[in-house]
Amino acid sequence: MDPAAGLVVTVPMGAHPEAVDAFLARHQRWILRWIDRLERRWHGIPKRWPYGEPLFYRGELLTVRIIPGRAGKVERVGSQLVVATRTPGIEGARRVLTRWLKTQAVQTLTERTEILGAMMGLAPTRIYVRALRRKWGSCWPGGSLSFSPHLIMAPPDVLDYVVVHELAHLKERNHSPRFWALVAAYHPELTLRRAWLRTHGPWLAL
């Protein structure tokens, strides 16, 4: 089950359509039960752009508007992100939007890491903003921190929680009670921020 595409069925190459139909019929009750369960879970949560729903940016839901333009650029106009691209269609806009979001993420994550690090008395050796598999942030043995550029799509307080979490790893390398106490000292509402990421994380993507 995928929140954007719905029910996805993967079949071997050359499979006969009647065999697929028979398989779905045999598992109909299970499929319907899971569809009902996931629809309740996903109710009110937007699908990932460009499947006809708004896009998260700094925790707000904004509509993406694509217009022709000589140079790819993005501008926020009210509740819209206006994407100008020379390449028509979704893919051209996606490339422009991806570059713009990463630029915003680098600037914001660098600033927040420096500010929050100063408050905590901790400073990374370097800050990276790059794609991470199944993680929002990572602390490396040499003292550098990596963050997902998709964090710019989350609310600012959620982004701050991830920054505090990774900064705390510079002092406490595990998830011991001392680690969580350190995080809570600088971000008391960490439970709410973690819950937001668990619920909305799949939609912080292009």
SS3 call for 133: coil
Instruction: Specify whether 68 is located in the same domain as 12.
Output: no
Instruction: Specify whether 114 is located in the same domain as 18.
Output: no
| Residue located via tokens 């550098």 | 144
Is 50 among the domain residues?
no
Mean pLDDT, to the nearest integer, of 149-155?
96
Is 37 among the domain residues?
yes
Instruction: Specify whether 70 is located in the same domain as 31.
Output: no
Is 119 among the domain residues?
yes
Instruction: Specify whether 146 is located in the same domain as 86.
Output: yes
CA distances from 45 to 55, 104, 161 (A): 11, 24, 21
Instruction: Specify whether 70 is located in the same domain as 114.
Output: yes
Instruction: Specify whether 76 is located in the same domain as 4.
Output: no
Give the least confident one: 40-44, 129-133, 176-180: 40-44
Mean pLDDT, to the nearest integer, of 187-206?
89
21: exposed, middle or buried (C-beta count within 10 Å: 0-12, 13-18, 19+)? Answer: exposed
The 10s digit of each residue's pLDDT in 80-131 is: 998 888 876 788 888 899 999 999 999 999 999 999 999 999 999 999 999 9
The total of structural domains in the chain comes to 2
Q: What is the pLDDT of residue 3?
A: 47
Mean pLDDT, to the nearest integer, of 139-160?
96
Domain span including residue 110:
55-203
Dihedral angle sign, alpha carbons of residues 87, 133, 180, 195: positive
pTM above 0.95, yes or no: no
Instruction: Specify whether 30 is located in the same domain as 132.
Output: no
Dist. CA 121–CA 171, nearest whole Å? 10
Is 49 among the domain residues?
no
Instruction: Specify whether 189 is located in the same domain as 100.
Output: yes
Instruction: Specify whether 103 is located in the same domain as 75.
Output: yes
